[in-house]
Amino acid sequence: MLHHYKNKKAFTLAEVLITLGIIGVVAAMTLPALISLYQKKIVETRLEHTYSLISQALKMADADYGDSQYWTKDIAGYQGTGNDVVDVFLNTYFLPYIKGYKSGIVDGYGLYKLGYNLRGISYSGLATSSRYVCLNNGVNLFLSFGIGRQGVVCVTILVDINGPKAPNVVGRDLFQMTYSLYDGILFMSGERQVTGYGLTYDKIIKYDDIYTRCKNGGNTLLECGALIKQNGWKIPKDYPYRI
């Protein structure tokens, strides 16, 4: 029996190399974009989850101890050291209401010692020893407090999305939340401000103003997280910095 085979032309080496080159170019163009999308998703997801976790913990504390404005005998107006204030807040109103964590003290110069930076400038926030909490989702929290004319008025919570991993840069993987003791409100720093000599964060900041402060840099970089929250926990397309 005779078999007839049609001649089939194989790819030449040049054609194979051209094809591989095209694949390489496409991969080089798309891979960085995919990595960027993945990194942004991590920031968005963990920031929202951490905000929700802290908010729920404080609501449970509120249910057990009453409105946070009545916590003043323990925290607000307290004249002890800063670490004493944070310890009371952590051990009474926060840690008992979360699961899966480790906590401790960062000695010396706090975040400065750990190598955090503010767009290339070493960040000296929390320059004294500070309290930290490592959550089971990989997020690290650093807590301090804010003082007004009437004593302690808020607790500030720095949120490191990916713990000790790089880049450790404010506005990229480090953001700040504030809990107002007198308002009982948790918000991303920059969303609200105290007006006059009051104790309450009654001034709500507009998105455009938050954007300007975030873009201008300096310590206001800590307010960049407010842009993400205001945008439905999504990093805005015009976010001033690369995540």
What's the confidence (pLDDT) of residue 59? 94
Residue predicted with more confidence, 236 or 131: 236
204-215: pLDDT as tens digits: 888 899 999 888
Query: For 30-37, what is the mean pLDDT?
Result: 72
> Which has the closest alpha carbon to 84: 51, 150, 128?
128
At 221, list the tokens: 């970089």
Tell me the percentage of the chain whose pLDDT exceeds 90: 23
| Residue reference for tokens 């040049």 | 14
> Which has the closest alpha carbon to 101: 57, 152, 136?
136
Tell me the percentage of the chain whose pLDDT exceeds 70: 67
What secondary structure does DSSP assign to the chain, as a single string? --------PPPPHHHHHHHHHHHHHHHHHHHHHHHHHHHHHHHHHHHHHHHHHHHHHHHHHHHHH--GGGGGGTSTT--S-HHHHHHHIIIIIIGGG--SEEEEEE-SSHHHHHT-EETTEE--SS-S-EEEEEETTS-EEEEEEEEETTEEEEEEEEEETTTT-S--BBTTTEEEEEEETTTTEEEETTSEE--TT-SS--EEPPHHHHHHHHHH-GGGGGGHHHHHHHTTSS--TT-SS--
193-235: pLDDT as tens digits: 876 556 677 778 888 999 998 888 766 778 899 999 999 999 9
pLDDT confidence tier of residue 8, bands split at 50, 70 and 90: low
What's the confidence (pLDDT) of residue 186? 94
Residue predicted with more confidence, 192 or 18: 192
Least confident of 27-31, 161-165, 187-191: 27-31
Least confident of 17-21, 176-180, 184-188: 17-21
178 and 201 Cβ atoms separated by less than 8 Å: yes
What's the confidence (pLDDT) of residue 75? 60
Evaluate if residue 25 carries a pLDDT over 80.
no
State the number of CA atoms in the 13 A half-sphere of 226 facing the CB. Answer: 27
| C-alpha dist (Å) from residue 197 to 15, 35, 147, 148, 149 | 75, 46, 12, 8, 7
| C-alpha dist (Å) from residue 4 to 1, 7, 10, 111 | 10, 10, 18, 77
Evaluate if residue 118 carries a pLDDT over 70.
no
175 and 227 Cβ atoms separated by less than 8 Å: no
pLDDT confidence tier of residue 99, bands split at 50, 70 and 90: confident
34-91: pLDDT as tens digits: 777 888 999 999 999 999 999 999 999 999 999 887 775 656 555 555 567 778 888 8
What's the confidence (pLDDT) of residue 12? 73
